[in-house]
Amino acid sequence: MIKNILNRTAITVFSIASTYLTAQEKNSISEVWTADQGKNFRNPILYADYSDPDVIRVGDDYYMTASSFNEAPGLPILHSKDMVNWKLVNYALPDVLPHEHFSTPKRGDGVWAPSIRFHQGEFYIYWGDPDFGIYRVKTKDPLGAWEKPVLVMEGKGLIDSCPFWDEDGSAYLVHGWAGSRAGVKSLLSINKMNSEGTKVLDKGVHVFDGHDAHPTVEGPKLYKRNGYYYIFAPAGGVATGWQLVLRSKNIYGPYEEKIVLEQGSTKINGPHQGAWVDTPSGEDWFYHFQDVDTYGRIVHLQPMKWEKDWPVMGIDTDKNGIGEPVSSYKKPNVGKSYPIVTPPETDEFDGEKLNLQWQWSANENIVWSSQLPGQKFLRLFSMKVPEGEKNLWNVPQFINPKIPGSEFYSINES
């Protein structure tokens, strides 16, 4: 076991080696939690902190991203063929911007509630940084390099952004507001964008005010179906809220409103923001997260259907017109079966770089660690803690994976 104790003046060098798989070379299967139960699945789909998940389907492939806040690399990219088994395949953001600002931990800041979209052969991700504005990255290959971020809309309190391209080519951006920075929240607003999606063209229009019935409405996702514009947005708070859906024949409203998913009698609190996704066979599904305190925000999958042009999520067990989350259900019909795979939890450190599960608390500095081919260990260098700092949580050279479940074990060898 590692016995070294780090303190402000420590100069000890230590290395870690673990009996781990190499995620880049083979699929990993969790020893803690797997959602795939054969013909059925169980929730959560991902028992790890993939906060504010957004998902799209491109052909027969599904891609997910999630909030990464101050951690680097950021914007995780996960891939699935069956909506249940997910593999961590990439990050869209090598460093969090502005680079110098995030050279030290800014806990809870940074990348908030991203949206991933596919438009004219390219993948786009938009996200809001509550202190700097709304950014965008794009690529033709989600497993490859993503272009450098573009600041689409500068300002404080701009969060939870989602792009939308209409049939006539018009581009829009819907977003929420962070009360801690903007001084106001519970509002959803829409801006017109240029067709490239690189900048907004106007000051924006408020399209929904949730102060009376839906406080803290946020995380909007904009879709179009059967002539209706839909905004899927959670309200009521991360741990205590519900899923709200708005619809209108005009993108600027007025919008009708309906609560479509709530905790009800289940143990799945929230349920908070996520994504509507369909299958090639015509099924509809909804991803969302559940806040579980220390373990983060874990990802659930709910069946979804349409009634009178309103989505119905989960199962309406009490017949009040509002769905409740399921704990298990039959797997989506994607035409065939696929092997079980989960995000990696282990690492032998036998490659030329860290496996994908590792993230730093700030933008990485090359002097923090060393990993050479053939060594089969990662060497971490002890650094002087910032003056006056008493909590290692606020030290930038803090590296960690996600907690893989409510019960797990850790083995480290030195």
Give the active site residues: 52, 218
| Cα–Cα dist 54/64, whole Å | 6
And the tokens for 99? 């680079």
Query: CB neighbours of 257 closer than 8 A, spacing ≥ 6?
Result: 208, 213, 214, 244, 245, 246
Q: Are 158 and 126 contacting, i.e. CB atoms less than 8 angstroms apart?
A: no
Residue written as token pair 């929230």: 270
Long-range contacts: 19-22, Cβ < 8 Å, 24+? Answer: 19/346, 19/348, 19/411, 19/413, 20/344, 20/346, 20/347, 20/348, 20/349, 20/355, 21/344, 21/346, 21/347, 21/348, 22/347, 22/348, 22/350, 22/351, 22/355
Residue 130 contacts residue 112 (beta carbons within 8 Å): yes
Report the alpha-carbon distance of residue 6 to residue 39 in Å, rounded.
48
Q: What are phi and psi of 149, to 5 degrees?
A: -60, 145
For the chain, give percent helix, strand, coil, nearest 5: 5, 40, 55
Secondary structure of residue 404 in the 3-state scheme? coil
CB 150 within 8 A of CB 136: yes
Burial of 341: CB neighbours in 10 Å, binned 0-12, 13-18, 19+:
buried
CA distance 312 to 7: 54
SS3 state of residue 295: helix
Nearest to 342 by CA among 26, 18, 17, 19: 26
| Among 156, 150, 179, 174, CA closest to 164 | 174
Nearest C-alpha neighbor of 52 from the set 102, 105, 126: 126
